[in-house]
Every structure is written in structure tokens, then in C-alpha cells.
């Protein structure tokens, strides 16, 4: 009696589960990133930052969101996160209180500059790391068509231009601040 490969109703084939492929050297499995990791990579921020922003957006009441939005930069993202952790009936009042709170002392400016520096250094480290990860594929880039190579150059130029414009803006503001301090 010959064995049959066909499945009878109610029977399942032995082997991989539905939708899964065998793991071997001939196939590379697609890795799926979490929403937070994918978004963080695209925005150049940490996964935790994205998770906190999602938590804030999810947990704030509509009234508290409006108050925070209307407050502009008076309420930091960190403060909004803390407000989102309050019971819903306390959120709007807490946000309103922060909109009329006196400005933070000068020490906060130092904390902000340290935070900004850390963020910039982390961004640069991610960029350098990403470029270094492409070194082993330099031969692929070298074999690109003219239009692909032009697009590669345009992308690199846009990064260097953005950095240059950022430093020009910072230098200009710094120069204005020095003038104000002299007067």
C-alpha cells in the first residue's frame, strides 16, 4: 500500500506551523521591530522616549491635552508625562497650575543644556555607528548606477548641510547673547 502525501480532512501535516519557514542558511528571516523601536530609529531618539510619548498621549484626558497644547513650551514633555500618571480628574488642574507657575530657576537652563548636549552626542554616535555599519558594503555602493550614486551623494550632502546650518544658527545666537552680556 502506497503512502499518500495528501492530507485527509481533520489531519495536519507534520513540520512547521502555519506561516513559519524553516531556519537555515539559505533564508534570512525578516525581523520585525516594535512600533517604539521603529519610530525611535526614524526620529533619531531612544525607544524609551517614544514609549513615554505614547504613554503621555494615551493617558492624558482630552482637557489636559488641550491645556498642555495651549501652554506652548511652559509644560515640558517630562511634566506632561507626570501629569498623565495622575488620576484623570486631577490632570487638567495640574496642567493649569503649571501654565501659571513661575519660570524655572537658572539651574534648569544648565540641566537643559546638559540634556541637549547628551541628546546631540547620542544622535552623532548613532549616525557614526550607522555609517560604520555600512563600510562592509562599500563595494555595493561603488557599483551603483549614476542616478543611485547621485541620490547617495544628495543624502550625504543633506546631512552635512543640516549640521552646518545648525552650527551657524547656534553660533549666531551665541554671538547675540555675548553682545547682550556686554551691554
pLDDT at 152 over 70: yes
Res 180: pLDDT: 82
Give per-residue pLDDT as tens, 84-128.
999 888 888 888 887 775 555 555 555 688 888 888 888 888 888
Average pLDDT over residues 41-48: 86
- For the chain, percent of residues with pLDDT exceeding 70: 77
Q: DSSP assignment of 131-179, as one string?
A: HHHHGGGHHHHHT--HHHHHHHHHHHHHHHHHHHHHHHHHHHHHHHHHH
pLDDT at 6 over 60: no
- State phi, psi for 33 to the nearest 5 degrees: -90, 155
Cell numbers linked to 94 = 495640574
67 and 73 in contact (C-beta within 8 Å)? no
Q: What is the pTM of this model?
A: 0.41
* DSSP state letter for 101: S
Model confidence pLDDT, tens digit, residues 153-172? 999 999 999 999 999 999 99
- Distance, in Å, from the CA atom of 60 to the CA atom of 157, rounded to the nearest integer, reads 40
Percent of the chain surpassing pLDDT 90: 24
Amino acid at each position: 500500500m502506497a503512502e499518500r502525501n495528501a492530507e485527509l480532512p481533520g489531519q495536519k501535516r507534520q513540520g512547521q506551523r502555519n506561516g513559519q519557514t524553516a531556519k537555515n542558511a539559505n533564508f534570512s528571516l525578516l525581523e520585525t521591530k516594535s512600533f517604539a523601536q521603529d519610530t525611535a530609529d526614524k526620529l533619531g531618539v531612544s525607544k524609551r522616549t517614544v514609549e513615554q510619548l505614547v504613554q503621555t498621549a494615551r493617558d492624558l484626558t482630552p482637557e489636559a491635552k488641550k491645556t498642555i497644547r495651549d501652554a506652548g513650551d511652559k509644560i515640558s514633555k517630562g511634566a506632561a508625562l507626570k501629569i498623565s500618571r495622575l488620576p484623570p480628574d486631577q490632570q487638567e488642574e495640574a496642567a493649569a497650575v503649571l501654565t501659571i507657575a513661575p519660570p524655572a530657576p537658572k539651574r534648569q537652563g544648565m540641566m537643559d543644556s546638559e540634556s541637549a548636549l547628551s541628546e546631540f552626542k547620542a544622535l552623532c554616535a548613532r549616525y557614526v555607528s550607522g555609517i560604520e555599519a555600512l563600510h562592509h558594503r562599500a563595494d555595493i555602493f561603488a557599483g551603483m548606477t549614476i542616478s543611485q550614486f547621485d541620490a547617495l551623494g544628495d543624502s550625504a550632502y543633506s546631512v552635512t548641510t543640516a549640521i552646518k546650518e545648525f552650527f551657524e544658527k547656534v553660533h549666531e545666537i551665541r554671538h547675540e547673547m555675548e553682545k547682550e552680556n556686554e551691554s
